[in-house]
Amino acid sequence: MTLSDQSRPIRPDEGLNEAALEAFLRDSLPGLKGPMTVRQFPSGFSNLTYHLRIGKREFVLRRPPFGTKAKSAHDMKREFSILKALKPHYPYCPEALVYTEDNAILGCPFYIMERLQGIILRKNLPEGLSFSAGDMHQLCETLLDVLVELHQVDYRQAGFDRIGHPEGYVRRQVEGWTGRYRKARTDDAPDFEAVMTWLADQMPPDTTSPAIIHNDYRFDNVVLEETRPRNIIGVLDWEMATVGDPLMDLGNTLAYWVQADDSEELQAMRLMPTHLEGALTRRELVDRYAEKTGRAVDDFAFYSAFGLFRLAVIAQQIYYRYYHGQTKDERFKMLIFGVHILEKTAKRVMNEGFF
């Protein structure tokens, strides 16, 4: 039995033109031998991820979701460029191989990258895998340390001064996500106006030491080594990476972090096994980040509340597609309940401080 992340048959209505795709691959990547098979990785609510196998070689294809979408939110060329630029400086990136905007192949831009084979942790540990409290503690420390490594890459040397613009980053984030929420709000969604007003009033000034930030860094976007699952061998899903305030990155990570003593409603939202015995708490993660980087984290409430709000916007945007019949994926149906819980939690941060 393998613990490695496994692909599944393609979901209904998300199939690809496999004949056109195979012809493109064989032309773009010389030397491929054997028949092609295409399957799909089951996780993720945004860009779609497919598992390609030709003979003994395995690849991953990334493409935008089907249905109406904002081009800027699913920019395949940008994601491909980020991987190409960052790989020499940050070994956890998968190798990006080929990108195309030829709509005659799949009807959208897409790119191909190497497959990093290993374990990806989702809501619960895969069957056959267990962590002692000490193992889980060490894995959480490693997760945080790999994020710190990213924040310590010289973004200018990596060419990210052409990809991101750190000046005014926090303001753009607050204003941008506020606009996105208002645009995506459905009749059954909370208004979030109190949270959005508070965030606009509490914005910190621009950081004096901007960094490359992943913007969606969490357990199910990292790949663990199968034989030594406390080790991280890869970081995935770079579609939102940019240059900005690294504390925003940490706050976004913590929005997903449901710990053992959280409420039942937060436990119901848990997407990763961050509740296991030995896992670091959100406070311990922030403290370790401060120790590793020397950055001041005394007033983390803004970053924590923003992370929760941003996660709610992402969920609401996806739910909007389901609500308006742009997708039939039943996974999206329950996201509205998460949006309500996230508003409640963000308000608690506003009133009480750290989440």
Query: Residue 333 has what DSSP assignment?
Result: T
Q: Are the CB atoms for 233 and 224 separated by under 8 Å?
A: yes
Query: Which two structure tokens, joined as six digits, stand for 193?
Result: 């106006």
Mean pLDDT across the chain: 93
Query: Which two structure tokens, joined as six digits, stand for 106?
Result: 């799949």
pLDDT band with cut points at 50, 70 and 90 for residue 72: low
> Is residue 1 predicted with pLDDT exceeding 60?
no
- CATH number for the region 18-114 comes to 3.30.200.20
- Sort residue 277 into left (φ over 0), alpha (ψ -120 to 50) or beta: beta
Written in H, E and C, the secondary structure of 219-255 is HHHEEECCCCCCCEEEECCCCCCEEECHHHHHHHHHH
What's the pLDDT score for residue 36? 96
Say what the pTM is: 0.91
- Nearest-CA neighbor of 94 among 243, 213, 233? 233
What's the pLDDT score for residue 113? 97
> Same fold for the domain at 18-114 and the one at 133-352?
no
What's the pLDDT score for residue 47? 84
Tell me the backbone φ, ψ of residue 291, rounded to 5 degrees.
-65, -40
What distance in Å separates the CA atoms of residue 79 and residue 215, rounded to the nearest whole number?
12
| Residue 208 burial (CB count, 10 A) | 6
Biggest CA–CA distance in the chain, Å, is 61
> Which residues 6+ apart lie within 8 Å of 193 measured at CB?
none
Model pLDDT for residues 231-271, shown as the tens digit of each residue: 999 999 998 999 999 999 999 999 999 999 999 999 999 99
Q: Where are the domains of the chain?
A: 18-114, 133-352
Grouping H, G, I as helix, E, B as strand and the rest as coil, residue 320 is helix
The CATH superfamily assigned to 133-352 is Aminoglycoside phosphotransferase (APH), C-terminal lobe (3.90.1200.10)
